[in-house]
Every structure is written in structure tokens, then in C-alpha cells.
Structure 1
Amino acid sequence: MAEAQMDTPPAPPIAPLAQRVSRYILDQALAGGYENGRHMTEADLASRLGISRTPVRAALRFLHERALLAHMPNRGYTLVADREALGRARREMPEDEEKTLYYRLLRDRLAGKLPTRVNELELAQAYDAPRPLLRTVLTTLLQDGVLRGRHYQRWEFTETLDSVESERESYRFRLIVECAALREPGFRIDHERLLACRERQQSLLAQAARYNWMDFFEANAQFHELLASFSGNRFVLDTVQQQNRLRRMSDLSDYPLVNVDLLHKSCREHLEILDAVEDGDLARAAEGMRLHLSRASDLLERRVMGVLGD
């Protein structure tokens, strides 16, 4: 007589930081940054994420227990799951409370629901958020240049692209900086990072239904910061990172309104620029960047006219 099949009891929850590492590994794998058979070690992940090995060890063990990673003693872990299993595991992961609150505050600020100056206690009450969680999110916003501290428990939002004219100026500025970055004499390619960026863009094209508008924003920011980092000019990279921070609120509010075909077009333009960079044709890459940013600027004008989603 066959034995009755019993459901596997759920594993005990892991600490929030280990959950974050687990989400990072799954997101990288689903975005094409980690291919099947990818070898992973505690030391490499801890270095990449800037954290200790303890949460990384817990995350790798967590994913191993779910048959997503294979483990070999003294050799680390290897990714063995297919995309379906990875996607299922990612959907079952609890969402990052910090990230959810972070973007909620951004959207509410852009929508005018939050004033320039905010009180920490009032925010905790309005968003029903535990004070430690809120303080962590506010600190992250501070580090990202979105907030600045004024007095104890009082915070102030920094200047953002909160007007059409400021967005226009931003695009004109980026046309100057990002095109010139591709002609910097110290421009050097990191082929591994370029490949990961390419695969992430291709994944967005092939699996659009699996991703939300947040994924498009983060992949777009990664692309522009990657090329800025290749320039070898720290001031160029700082500038592009700052522009991404300033654009965060306006872009995140726009993406749900944009026809997905336009987002796909943006991904294809990214891939064409990456092709030119990899071929060593930086003049072609700079021209591609000029056209790409000009078309993105045109989307702003379409939004002003109320035809963004057409």
C-alpha cells in the first residue's frame, strides 16, 4: 500500500536582511544576471552587497532548502532551478516592507499628498508604519538625496524634477553629459557587467508580463549608470546617479501611464547602444544615446499634451 504523501511543512521565516539577500539572488536570476549553473559563494555576495557573511549564509541555505541551489561542501552553491521555479519562489517571498514604504512616500510626495517638510511621528501615524521601519526608510531617502534632515524627527524633501521645465532642463543636461561620457579618454568596458545589463534588458523585452513598472525604472537607471561608470570619470558617474535620484519620483509616476510598446522601444535602444559600446564604436554609441535621450524628451512633451499612452 502506497504511503500517503504529506505536504512539506513550511520552513521557519528568516531574518529580514537574509530575505533581502534571497530576493536579490532571485531577482538577479530572473533578470538574466545569474544564469543556470552560476556558482555563488558567501564571500562574493557579501562583497557585492556590502554586508557580512551571516545573512548571506542564511539566504543561500534558505534557497538551497527549496531546491533552487545545489550545495557542494567547501565549494559553495550553484544555481540549478529553471525560470518557472525561480519565478514561483520569488512570488512566494514576502515583499520588502522598506521598499514598499520607500516608493509610497515618493509617489505621495510627487502627488502633493506630502508637504516639503514632514514630521516623523505624523508620518508613522499616517502610514501606520513602525518607527524603526520608518526611520530606516527615511534614512535611505536621505542617503539617496531625496530627503534632508532639519531638526530632530523633522525631515525636508530636497528639490526634485517637480515641474515640466525642470524635467526639460534635465534632459538637455543629460544630453550634454551622457553623450560626452562615451567619448571620455578613460572609457573602459567591464564586459561582465555589460553582459549582465544586456541580459536584463533582453529579459524585460521577452518577459514583460512578469515585470512591473518599477523593474523598468531600475533597469533603465542601471543602464545609464553603467555607461557613466565606464567613462572612468567619477564626476560623470556622480552626476548621472544624481539625475536618476531626481528623476525617480517623476519617472515612477509616469511608467504606469506609458504604453508598454514604448518601454520595449527604450529597451531595444539600450541594446543598440550596448552593441555599439561592445564593438568599440563609441561615436555610434554617443549618437545612439543622443537619439535615445531626445526620444525620451519627446515623451515628456507628449505627457504635457496628454497623449503619453498613445
Structure 2
Amino acid sequence: MPPTQLTRQVAARIVDYIRSEQVSVGTRLAERTLAEHLRVSRSPVRNALRLLADSGAVAEAERGGYTVVDTDPDLVTETEEGVDETVYLAIAGDRLDGDLPDRITESALARRYSLTPAQLNRVLRRASSEGWIERLPGYGWEFRPTLTSPQSYADSYRFRLTIEPAAILEPTFVLDRAAVEHVREQQQRLADGAIHELDNVALFNINHVFHETITECSRNEFFIEALRRVDHLRRLVEYRRSLPRSSGVVRCREHVEIADLLLADRRAEAAERMREHLGTVTAEKTDT
């Protein structure tokens, strides 16, 4: 699904910042610093950086954040994004179906999906940034492991059921109020009906940002990285599998409740509500 207007606006402001401040190639862009400079929460900055990564303007840094790749970038058009999204999902689907080998060349992908070099570059950058394909040293690309069996998918939810409530109770937990208010607002919009307008990709992206935003407040890098890793692994499966939208509305309301408890500084209750929420979703999505 194309980026929201807010994401586009923040991305454009980041581009203006890169140009006006004459930020050099290789400079690291930190979410927190950009959020403070632009006076927005970290969530829209995170989404904007992902959009810029898809366009090739920035790239994910090894130790988190992003680095500048192009100091005078142009954002792709909505038409280009629509084509990219279609191809992206086709590659993801073919990979899940076992129709693509573990290793593949760019020329093979370009031929199979009738892609221009620019289109191929954008799609590979996105898949790479989302963690399910990586460039091989020298030549070609390799698909990284994803969750494909029902058991591994169920295990991922059991793991989340363990770490996410624990992250809320960490002694280092510091609420990022602006970020939590932002994701709460997103969830409220979904619960109010917007969920019926979104496809599985867009819904997954909004929901995983909600959970990652809360876990990031723990300030525990092991919890944070573990959840990101699990989200990368389950991403392709979630693109195909989601709850009925009627059930999704209920889960979004539960997200709002969790956010409200955190904003009211009722962490113990929020952790328990998170545990109940994930337990229900685990049962619904894995038929256990």
C-alpha cells in the first residue's frame, strides 16, 4: 500500500534537511535526532526513513538507524510505488510457494518479473531492509530464512507472548509518550473503521510498529532486537494470513487499551493486558 500523506511529508522534510544541512554521504541519521529536529514523534520518522530506504536515498546502518546514500534524492511517484508493491508481493509469494531458489541473480529476477534496473533496485532494497533477502559477496542475492511451517509460525507467537509483556516490566522502561500516543491514534483509526480499507501488508506494518514502539521503551536492546528479528521472519506469512477484519477491530481496541494503560503509568496492568492480547491472537492465528 502506498505511504500515508504524513509519511510523504516527513520524508520530504528529511530530504530538505539533508540538502540544507549539506549532510554528507555515509552520515548516520538517528530517529531520535530527526524527530527532535522536525518536532514529530519517532514513528512517522521511522516510516519516512523506510520510504527513503526504498527509494535508495538512505540505507540501514549496521548498528541501527540509517546512513545517507544520496544527498540529492528524488522520491518515487505513486504510480511507481504501485508497480513496486505488486512486484514485491509477487516475489514474496513465489518465495513462500517454493518457486524461487535460495540464491538468485538480479538478471534472473529482472527477466522473471519484467523489471527495469530502477524497479529491481527499489524492490531489492525494500526486501533487504525488511530482512528477507540479502546481497551475496560479489554476485547475486540470497533469501534469508522465513517462517514457513505451522509449527515455526506458532513458536514465533509463543516467543512474543514471553518477551513483550516482560519488556514492559523492565526496570529500564521509559515511556516515549509522543511515540505511544501516535501508535495509539493509528490503532484508534483502525478500530473506527479504517481497518476495512487496508490490505494485509499495510495492516501488518501498522501493527508491528505498535508492538515494536512499546518494546523500544524498555531500552533493552536484546528485547528490541529479538522482536524485530521475529517480525522479519514472520513478515511474509503475515502478508498472506490475517484475522477476519471483525476480529481485527477487537484486537485494535485492545491495542488502544494497552496504550492507555501505559500513558496512565499503569505498567503492570499494561503488561498483563499485553499478555492476554497476545494469548488470544496466538490462539486465533495458530488454531491452538
Give matches, 1:1-310, under 5 Å.
24=3, 26-28=5-7, 42-43=16-17, 48=45, 49=48, 93-94=78-79, 96=81, 97-150=83-136, 152-206=138-192, 207-255=194-242, 258-302=243-287
- Give how far 1:145 is off: 2.2
- Give how far 1:166 is off: 0.8
* RMSD after superposition: 3.1
SS in 1 for 2:241: helix
Taking the aligned partners of 2:3 and 2:196, their CA distance within structure 1 comes to: 20
The structure-2 alpha-carbon separation of the partners of 1:218 and 1:143, relative to structure 1 and needing over 3 Å to count, comes to closer
- Give how far 1:209 is off: 3.5
Asked if the contact 1:147–1:158 (Cα under 8 Å) also holds between the matched residues in 2, the reply is yes
Taking the aligned partners of 1:115 and 1:173, their CA distance within structure 2 comes to: 29
- Give how far 1:150 is off: 3.4
Q: Which letter maps to 2:98?
A: G
Deviations 1:235-272 (A, max 9, x none): 211111111111101111103xx321111111111111
Taking the aligned partners of 1:124 and 1:55, their CA distance within structure 2 comes to: 24
Taking the aligned partners of 2:71 and 2:179, their CA distance within structure 1 comes to: 23
Taking the aligned partners of 1:220 and 1:135, their CA distance within structure 2 comes to: 27
- Give ranges in structure 1 of 5+ residues lacking alignment: 1-22, 35-39, 60-91, 305-310
The structure-2 alpha-carbon separation of the partners of 1:163 and 1:25, relative to structure 1 and needing over 3 Å to count, comes to closer
Deviations 1:107-142 (A, max 9, x none): 221122223222321111110011232133223323
Q: Which letter maps to 2:216?
A: S
Deviations 1:183-218 (A, max 9, x none): 111111111111111111111122234322222111
Deviations 1:58-98 (A, max 9, x none): 99xxxxxxxxxxxxxxxxxxxxxxxxxxxxxxxx9425144
Taking the aligned partners of 1:159 and 1:211, their CA distance within structure 2 comes to: 27
Asked if the contact 2:104–2:141 (Cα under 8 Å) also holds between the matched residues in 1, the reply is yes
Asked if the contact 1:273–1:288 (Cα under 8 Å) also holds between the matched residues in 2, the reply is yes
Q: Which stretch of the first structure deviates more once superposed, 184-193 or 201-210?
A: 201-210
- Give ranges in structure 2 of 5+ residues lacking alignment: 18-33, 39-44, 50-56, 58-69
SS in 2 for 1:94: helix
Taking the aligned partners of 1:216 and 1:262, their CA distance within structure 2 comes to: 13
- Give how far 1:144 is off: 2.7
- Give how far 1:102 is off: 2.6
Deviations 1:34-77 (A, max 9, x none): 9xxxxx79446897345688668x99xxxxxxxxxxxxxxxxxx
Deviations 1:154-175 (A, max 9, x none): 2221111111111121112111
Asked if the contact 2:187–2:255 (Cα under 8 Å) also holds between the matched residues in 1, the reply is yes
Q: Which stretch of the first structure deviates more once superposed, 283-292 or 203-212?
A: 203-212
Taking the aligned partners of 2:4 and 2:218, their CA distance within structure 1 comes to: 28
- Give how far 1:25 is off: 5.5
Report the identity percentage: 29
Figure out how many residues of one structure are paired with residues of the other and give that number.
239
